[in-house]
Amino acid sequence: MGETPAFLRLEDPALASRHLTDIELRGLVFNNEFLDFLRCPAFQGLKIKDCSFMHAERISSLSLKRLNIIRAMFNESSRTRIHAPNLASLELLVTGGRIPILQSMPLLVLADVAIAASCDCCSRSNNGDCGNENCTGCIPNFTSSVLLHGMSQAKSLEFGAGTEMFIFRRDLKCCPTFSRLKTLKLTEHYVHALSYILKYSPVLESLKLYLLVFDKVNSFVSKWITVALYNFMLIVC
């Protein structure tokens, strides 16, 4: 498709197919119905690139296994909900709007999330807890989670490049237990949360940090650092 996005009409219905298994979508502005795949019982793979969720309230599928959302623009006043209870693999790169809500994904194996840009913010608090019920940035119910609870059953987690940390810090206030997490990758922006995640990751085996380090030719470079875990004492290898 070209650079001009294609708008789905409000009356365009959701897809319905007994045989559809995979679909790739690029350069679309979704309506509120198109991403409802509940009438596609064999559907397993969804790739979305350079699309807008400005009018989409949800992504729904009971059979979806693989979800890739790359360079997505979301609504600035409400959150898209992702309902995919059988999801095994998630890749999410947000480039604008409010970060979507990840609902329970008990079969999740791999999740790779990066927040490049988001309108989630509050002038009174960096953690989403200003206490003002009328605040459009914070979420009144602090027992709810936007990202972390939905990913809490993953075996491998990667929080990639991106400096928008508002929702991540907020979710840490109700940090879930990552009971199956074996592998964790964090960029330097998430290192402040390392103690929280380690505390609630009882079976973690592998930790990699993407940090700015001083190399042998006397220059600073960013590279993955493997960290050995011995009784939660960190030793850089």
| Residue 1: count of CB within 10 angstroms of its CB | 11
Whether 165 contacts 193, CB under 8 Å: no
CA 164, 169, 175, 178 dihedral sign is: positive
pLDDT at 232 over 60: no
Whole-number pLDDT of residue 94:
93
Higher pLDDT among residues 134 and 163, named by residue:
134
**CA–CA gap between residue 110 and residue 108 (Å, rounded):** 6
Q: For the segment 93-110, what is each residue's pLDDT rounded down to a tens digit? A: 999 999 999 999 999 999
Higher pLDDT among residues 66 and 122, named by residue:
66
Whole-number pLDDT of residue 227:
62
Q: Which residues does 118 contact at the CB level (< 8 Å), separation at least 6?
A: 94, 96, 97, 98, 99, 164, 166, 167
> Which one, of 33, 26, 24, lies nearest residue 4 by Cα?
26
> Whole-model pTM?
0.85
**CA–CA gap between residue 136 and residue 77 (Å, rounded):** 8
- Lowest-pLDDT range, 18-22, 32-36, 125-129, 144-148? 125-129
Whole-number pLDDT of residue 225:
63
pLDDT at 236 over 50: no
Higher pLDDT among residues 19 and 123, named by residue:
19
Residue 171 — very low, low, confident or very high, per pLDDT cuts 50/70/90?
Answer: confident
Whole-number pLDDT of residue 186:
87
Whole-number pLDDT of residue 67:
98
Whether 113 contacts 158, CB under 8 Å: yes
> Which one, of 122, 124, 125, 118, lies nearest residue 147 by Cα?
118
The two beta strands, 206-214 and 220-230, are: antiparallel
Report domain extents, the chain.
13-236
Q: For the segment 3-58, what is each residue's pLDDT rounded down to a tens digit? A: 566 766 656 778 899 999 999 999 989 988 899 999 999 999 999 999 999 999 99
Residue 173 — very low, low, confident or very high, per pLDDT cuts 50/70/90?
Answer: confident
Tell me the mean pLDDT in the region 172-178.
84
Q: Which helix (H) or strand (E) holds 168?
A: helix 166-172
Whole-number pLDDT of residue 231:
42
Q: For the segment 187-200, what is each residue's pLDDT rounded down to a tens digit? A: 877 877 888 888 89
